[in-house]
Chain A
């Protein structure tokens, strides 16, 4: 029986198609191919952040999660792996990209394997992924694969990019196949910080045996 993985591609590219999306698609494609060689089936879903730009801005200023944004959150919540790809603007990831991930509940992506990717007009931005984006995904408690993807204009004609895509893709497949996320979530979920209603509205357990709960019921903290 083949196991099925859901891979969610998040792209903050702005043109259609964008090189940012192209890079993400190539990574997703390789993930699917390499997974198939190991008898895994991969279902790829794509979240185009440009289509959510208005709702992302609304959510940032008013906590109001629109319908399309809710759908994207749900997709990520069920993802076994993620490819997150952004253009580099002014020596940093696109504000659209970081805004989207800043809106998510802190515990939505815990232990999920992620390939990070960025595109830029110049190779001088090459360290944006490792120096800036990894921090955000570390905060979200994801597992970012060792190989980061970065493509500036000249990389698109260099076969070395394909090699790096292959490396990152296999790293992601290995992490998904190892069941790391499932194990962490099933055995250790309670050790992470949660809020009532977090994890995209699914975290509803209430610990009645806490100091605060005893205080709520007339006791002493």
Chain B
């Protein structure tokens, strides 16, 4: 099982100090957070994508490439990449490039984005968000698997003889998670392609997510990718940890109370009772996280939201120490001993290369000399006609 942190990239006023970090400070901080995640033994760092203040992460592959260069083992990912307002051709290119630079230590999670005004900035319409997401992914899926693509759809210019470059590393496409809260069509698409399904698991009671994950597992099996237990599931979560439970509650409360989305709303205690938020000692966070697999089945990736709501960098780094040193090692051990042996291994590039090639060498596409186009003839690569 993989453990990691995901960030929304919000730049929020610290309600305790009253300070709002600058964009420059917050971008520096996120790199330190990612490096810290690796240092304390976490497996994954993921960043969101937003195109409006108060968020900074408009160009996730740039950030992730930088982080990949500064780390050795960490998998970099997104939470989420917008499959609606981004051209799927650009996603194919940018993330394949990231995959090469990160030597395969990456994957991505797709989401639709729910901020209506963002859509027209990119020539799109939120009312078409769902069919656009589905069609765009159908195209993205082909761009990473076919050297030359002819394509026509409703939401972008047709493609004639298009090759998305670079081809994926080892000709193994990046692993894709589809994030959704209540849209069965997204779960269906994840299942159809045998991709991962991610439930953010933060804002709502678990029942919301349980229904959709169950549907995804059934459909994953229906499409013949494996059994329901072998479907690839990721979950979000949210924690604030202190050695003493009461300290955690006292320290986190001002941030909870003013947090974007749920701040100024429910009492923290009620929110903890009804959602996956844990605020408490390492043992309390461990106990709560261990209940997730009982509700959702064994899963492959657990992400924690740790750096939002204006928490200062120093606190976040300290949180990561506690998460990496006192929580995750216990979770790894406990889950390993409880996990159904049928459970699929978490997706990594190495595993996917092995699945595709066994012990054979991976394909390394070498382009033919430039002839100005690749519309005529078979393939622009030397190893195929």
- A218 vs B182: C-alpha distance in the bound complex, in angstroms? 20
Given contacts A218-B138, A218-B192, contact A63 B131 (CB under 8 A): no
Interface of A is mostly: loop
Contact of A1 with B by CB under 8 A: no
- B266 contact from A58, A217, A220, Cβ within 8 A: A58
When the two chains form their complex, are residues A217 and B203 in contact, meaning their CB atoms are under 8 A apart? Answer: no
Q: In the complex, A196 Cα to B192 Cα: how many Å?
A: 19
B189 interfacial by beta-carbon distance below 8 Å: yes
- Interface size of B by Cβ–Cβ distance < 8 Å? 35
B270 touches A196 (CB 8 A): no
- Identify which of A57, A58, A67 gathers the most chain B CB atoms within 10 Å of its CB: A58
Find out whether the CB atom of B207 lies under 8 angstroms from the CB atom of A217.
no
Measured between beta carbons, the chain B residues less than 8 angstroms from A55 are 266
- In angstroms, Cα B274 to Cα A207, docked, is 30
> Bound state CA distance, A216 and B182, in angstroms?
15
Tell yes or no: A123 within 8 A of B by CB. Answer: no
- Please tell me if A160 contacts chain B, counting CB pairs below 8 Å: no
User: A52-83 vs B: 1/0 string, CB under 8 Å?
Assistant: 00010110011111110000000000000000
User: Which of A61, A195, A196 has the most CB atoms of chain B within a 10 A radius of its CB?
Assistant: A196
Q: Is A201 an interface residue (CB 8 A)?
A: yes
How many residues does chain A have at the interface if contact means C-beta atoms less than 8 Å apart? 25
**Which chain B residues numbered 205 to 243 have a C-beta less than 8 Å away from chain A?**
205, 207-208, 211-212, 215
Bound-state CA distance A197–B210 (Å) is: 11
A63 to B261, CA, bound (A): 9
Q: Judging by beta carbons under 8 Å apart, are A215 and B131 in contact?
A: yes
Asked if A63 and B270 make an inter-chain contact with CB atoms under 8 angstroms apart, the answer reads no
A221 interface residue (CB < 8 Å to B): yes
Chain B, residues 190-208, CB within 8 Å of chain A (1/0): the string is: 0011000000000111011
* B residues apposed to A, CB below 8 Å: 130-131, 134-135, 138, 141, 153-154, 182-186, 188-189, 192-193, 203-205, 207-208, 211-212, 215, 261-266, 270-271, 274-275
Name A residues whose Cβ lies closer than 8 Å to a Cβ of B. 55, 57-58, 61-67, 195-197, 201, 204, 206, 208, 212-213, 215-218, 220-221
| Nearest 8 A/B pairs, CB to CB | A62-B265, A216-B189, A216-B188, A62-B262, A58-B265, A215-B134, A217-B192, A216-B185
